[in-house]
Structure 1
Amino acid sequence: MSAELRGPQDAERWLCAGLCLARQEGLNPESLTASVPWLLATLAEAPDLPPPALVADLGRLVSGVPLSPALPVPDTLPRLRTAVRAYDDHVLARLAAEPHLDAVSSALARLPEALRPRGVAFLAARVLTRLGFTGGTALSPGLARRVLERPPAELLQTGYTALREPGSGAALERLAEGYEALASAARRAQALLGDAEAFTLENLEHLQGKAQRMALEQAVEAAEALSRTLPPKLRARPVSSGPTPTSLEDEAAFPQGGFASVSNVGSLENLVTSELVYMEDEPTLDLFDVRYVEGELLYYTRDESVAVRRRRVITFAVLPGLVDARVKDTGVRWQRAVVALGLVLCLVRRLSAWLTAEDLRFRVVFVQDGKGQSPLEAERGLCELLLREWRERGTAEVLTAPDLDSVLSEAAASTKRSRVDVLLVDAARHGAQGAPGSHDAREADARVGLQLVDLSGPSPHVRVLGSKTVTREPQDAPPPESPWESWTGATLELARSLL
């Protein structure tokens, strides 16, 4: 039977004693001061707190302060001492060895100082979610704030006293249960940190409220899940078009130029500096002058070769019918529209890694409806955050277009200098204006690779548009896949077709 905190005094003892169990060498009032804003921000995230030392330890760990899990546990309840040791072995050791810890720490360090407590609170909530931890202790926010606003020295004194007092049994038993639940959950968890945490922290300053933050987390999680189903490498299909010289304004994006050799022809600013030894202070003719007149001085010469790469433009045309995909299907953890954005992020990441030898550009275009409105404005803002890294590099852009015809016309115009692929993403029902069924008869430029990602049902389907080939269903059709298997299959099909 779980122990319950019977009143404000037990809650105060639980909070102060929990702070004194932080695994940091030389715990003192100064070091405790940094933990208080983290706990207050965590309390704002959810009223149920884990053992307070978890928030303090996690905050120190991602802030670059080393922890000391081998420290002796203060003299207290034997069950609590054993639980803290298990927490050291299964939670702190796992966190310290997480491969994403450096990325998370770097993202937190780049946040403004005022946002870092919120970032630590977000990380604590995400770690608890990944653990599946449900043993939190409900505290009154007002009581917790009154306790945490006391001087740090008083908090430590109260905490160490509570750890030794016989009358603190309920608070100590509750702490022991929390530590045991953390250690037990950590034994079963696959990972405690991931790309979603680093990605969200990098964009935390730009997120508008908790709903957008959750949508961003889920889209990144969906992208991770889809990416895990793809092979590490895929073979690109051969192309008939030749390479084109890259535009001069892009010359800083990849190596070119620089000194390549030495010649006796050149300008004085490229003179090899060792030639200056031939100069003399006397006003008479020196050896430097003779070598200059004879053309024997040495100059550095530059490699003036033109960088040549194939141009690729991949356009994701997100049609207004995607509003019908704001539903959650059985067997899929996220909304259909969220997985669609995760699919875009997954393809951008993988194609950027696979097509490093090409001048690759991504365009995500949100098409307005017939009334000139943008029903997917929330998804557009989320997509800007998801692709912020590539937008800052200049390799991706998120746009709005009045209609699909303008998107296709621009794609056709780009084929003069690039290979162009367009993916239509739609979820409108068949038979509606602009619905997936109405796209099959669309005539596209033969030089544009046009495909449709049909999200009108739980299972996505990918179709090539404008193709004269008729696909026949086999006699013995396989049983229908689950929605998630359809998502993974569609992702692999799109990745292969875009290479």
Structure 2
Amino acid sequence: MNTELTSPQDTERWLCAGLCLPRQEHVTPEAVTAAVPWLLALLAESPALPPLAFVMDLGRLVAGVPLAPSAPVPDTLPRLRAAVRAYDDHVLGRLAAESHLEAVSAALARLPAALRPRGIAFLVARVLTRMGFTAGSPVSPALARRVLERPPAELLQAGYTALRDSGASAALERLTEGYEALASAARRAQALLGDAESFTLENLEHLQGKAQRMALEQAVEAAEALSRTLPPKLRARPVSLAPLPTALEDDAAFPQGGFSSVSNVGSLENLVTSELVYMEDEPNLDLFDVRYVEGELLYYTRDESITVRRRRVITFVLPPGLVDARVKDAGVRWQRVVVALGLLLCLVRRLSLWLGSEELHFRAVFLHADDGTSPLEAERGLCELLLREWRARGTAEVVTAATLEDVLADAEARTKRARVDVVLLDASRQVEKMFHSTGPRVGLHVLDLGAPSPCVRALRDRREVLDSRKPEPSDGAPRAGEHWEAWMGVTLELAQGLL
């Protein structure tokens, strides 16, 4: 049974006592001062707070400050002391061993100083969500601000007094329940950190509001979930396109033109430095001169070969009809359009890994509506954030186009120097018929999002359309998880079709 904080005095004791339990050797007023901005930022995230020491511990952990889980717990209720020990083992131990901790710490360190409290508050909220923690204590923001604005030394003194005060039983019971709930939730959680946290922190400076941040988190979570369904490696099918010289402006990005071997022919600037041991100070002829005349000195030689790689252009087309996919289907955690963007990110990541020896270029093209408007402007901004890493490298771009004909004409022109694939993400089927007018050298794929279970239709030629959708059950009722299974299936089919 959950204990309620029924009075402002109980809430104040709960807050102050929580500040005295972070897992470090000595809790100092300076540590409390550093944590107050994190706590105030967390109040803006959620009015229901976990034990405050958890916020302090997580903030110090991602900042690279070592914790001290073996430090003694202040003298208080035996049940609270046992709960803190369980919290040490199951929460802090799990967090310290998380494989994504280093990426999260690096992303947080790159944030401007003014944004770091907001980043830590976001991280705390995400970890609690991953754990399924629901035992937070509702706290009035006004009361919490008033308490946290007091001098840190005074807060610590009040907290240690509350830990030993028999009259603060309600606050201590609530604090104990919070720690027990944290330990229990961490034991059940599959992972406490993931790609979504590091990805969102890297883009936190560019996010416009909480709605866009939540959409980014969900798209990355969807990409992470779809990626787990793909095999580590897939074999690319053979292609007839020959390797082409890499563009001149890209030459510096590849390991070419360095020293490749040793020869007895070359210039003095490439002389092997060990040859200098044959030089002597005497004015007479030395062994170095003899070796030079005889052509026996050794020189480094450079590899001046041209870098050649196959070129690949993969274009994802998102027409305005995709607004019909802003729906949430049974058995799927995210909106259909959010999962589609997660699938796009998943394919970009995996294809970049599988086709690392080729010159890849990804394009996400958003089409205008007939009246010239951009119904998918929010999705376009989200896609720019999802592909920011590849856009910074110059291997991806997010653009707009007036019509599908313009996109297909551009794809046809690119086939002269690259293998080109076009993937249409469509929920209306109104633009799919235009694919049949494209040249045969462009690989065409349609991801049909017009139903809860998506399907892939690969146009191998202009007469045959392969549909991956399974027939509906005779009674018309979908099985539990059937729609998500369809998403996993189309992800694998698209990955195989694009290789």
- TM, length-normalised to structure 2: 0.94
> What is the letter of the counterpart of residue 200 of structure 2?
T
TM superposition shift of 1:168:
0.7
Matches of 1:287 and 1:125, distance apart in 2: 74
Q: Contact 1:37/1:117 (CA < 8 Å) preserved in 2?
A: yes
Counterpart residue number, 2:396: 396
5 Å matches for 1:282-293?
292=292
Counterpart residue number, 2:410: 410
TM superposition shift of 1:297:
4.1
Q: Give the stretch that moved more between structures: 150-159 or 281-290.
A: 281-290
Counterpart residue number, 1:342: 342
Determine which of 444, 447, 453 is the counterpart of 1:459: 453
Matches of 1:376 and 1:225, distance apart in 2: 24
TM superposition shift of 1:251:
1.9
TM superposition shift of 1:371:
2.0
Q: Give the stretch that moved more between structures: 28-37 or 458-467.
A: 458-467
TM superposition shift of 1:94:
1.1
Q: Contact 2:457/2:467 (CA < 8 Å) preserved in 1?
A: no
Q: Give the stretch that moved more between structures: 247-256 or 21-30.
A: 247-256
SS at match of 1:315: strand
- TM, length-normalised to structure 1: 0.94
CA displacement, residues 215-249 of structure 1 (integer Å, 9 cap, x when unaligned): 00000000011111111111111112222222232
Task: Say yes or no: does 1:74 pair with 2:68.
Answer: no
Matches of 2:252 and 2:289, distance apart in 1: 38
Matches of 1:114 and 1:472, distance apart in 2: 53
Matches of 1:264 and 1:461, distance apart in 2: 63
Matches of 2:272 and 2:487, distance apart in 1: 61
> What is the letter of the counterpart of residue 489 of structure 2?
G
TM superposition shift of 1:48:
0.8
> What is the letter of the counterpart of residue 209 of structure 1?
G
Task: Say yes or no: does 1:320 pair with 2:320.
Answer: yes
SS at match of 1:74: coil
CA displacement, residues 24-53 of structure 1 (integer Å, 9 cap, x when unaligned): 111111222211111111111111101111
SS at match of 2:392: helix
Counterpart residue number, 1:21: 21
Counterpart residue number, 1:299: 299
Matches of 1:285 and 1:80, distance apart in 2: 88
> What is the letter of the counterpart of residue 456 of structure 1?
G
SS at match of 1:366: strand
Q: Unaligned regions of 5+ residues in structure 2, if any?
A: none
SS at match of 2:424: strand
Task: Say yes or no: does 1:53 pair with 2:53.
Answer: yes
Matches of 1:266 and 1:183, distance apart in 2: 69
Q: Contact 1:461/1:490 (CA < 8 Å) preserved in 2?
A: yes
Matches of 2:376 and 2:44, distance apart in 1: 30
CA displacement, residues 110-156 of structure 1 (integer Å, 9 cap, x when unaligned): 11111111111001000111111111111111111111111111111
Counterpart residue number, 2:160: 160
Counterpart residue number, 2:215: 215
Change (3 A) 1:470 1:310: closer
Q: Contact 2:458/2:465 (CA < 8 Å) preserved in 1?
A: no
Matches of 1:6 and 1:472, distance apart in 2: 64
> What is the letter of the counterpart of residue 324 of structure 2?
D
TM superposition shift of 1:67:
1.3
5 Å matches for 1:132-151?
132-151=132-151
Q: Contact 1:320/1:367 (CA < 8 Å) preserved in 2?
A: yes
Matches of 1:119 and 1:24, distance apart in 2: 22
Give the CA RMSD over aligned residues.
2.1
> What is the letter of the counterpart of residue 448 of structure 2?
D
Matches of 2:226 and 2:349, distance apart in 1: 11
Q: Contact 1:444/1:466 (CA < 8 Å) preserved in 2?
A: no
> What is the letter of the counterpart of residue 453 of structure 1?
L
Change (3 A) 1:313 1:470: closer
TM superposition shift of 1:272:
2.8
Matches of 2:370 and 2:77, distance apart in 1: 69
Matches of 1:162 and 1:225, distance apart in 2: 45
CA displacement, residues 387-411 of structure 1 (integer Å, 9 cap, x when unaligned): 1111111211111112111111111
CA displacement, residues 225-281 of structure 1 (integer Å, 9 cap, x when unaligned): 111111111111111222222223212222222112233332332233344455566
TM superposition shift of 1:17:
0.1
TM superposition shift of 1:372:
2.1
TM superposition shift of 1:76:
1.0
Q: Give the stretch that moved more between structures: 124-133 or 77-86.
A: 77-86
Matches of 1:488 and 1:59, distance apart in 2: 36
Matches of 1:401 and 1:290, distance apart in 2: 70
Matches of 1:280 and 1:255, distance apart in 2: 38
Q: Unaligned regions of 5+ residues in structure 1, if any?
A: none
Identical-pair percentage:
75
Matches of 1:455 and 1:473, distance apart in 2: 13
Counterpart residue number, 1:495: 495
Q: Give the stretch that moved more between structures: 381-390 or 4-13.
A: 4-13
Q: Contact 1:439/1:465 (CA < 8 Å) preserved in 2?
A: no
CA displacement, residues 398-439 of structure 1 (integer Å, 9 cap, x when unaligned): 1111211111111111111111100011112x5x5x3x4x44
Counterpart residue number, 2:106: 106
Q: Give the stretch that moved more between structures: 42-51 or 1-10.
A: 1-10
Matches of 1:44 and 1:297, distance apart in 2: 72
Counterpart residue number, 2:178: 178
Counterpart residue number, 2:427: 427
Matches of 1:273 and 1:64, distance apart in 2: 44
Counterpart residue number, 1:123: 123
Q: Give the stretch that moved more between structures: 65-74 or 413-422.
A: 65-74
> What is the letter of the counterpart of residue 486 of structure 1?
A
CA displacement, residues 71-105 of structure 1 (integer Å, 9 cap, x when unaligned): 22111122212221221121111111111111111
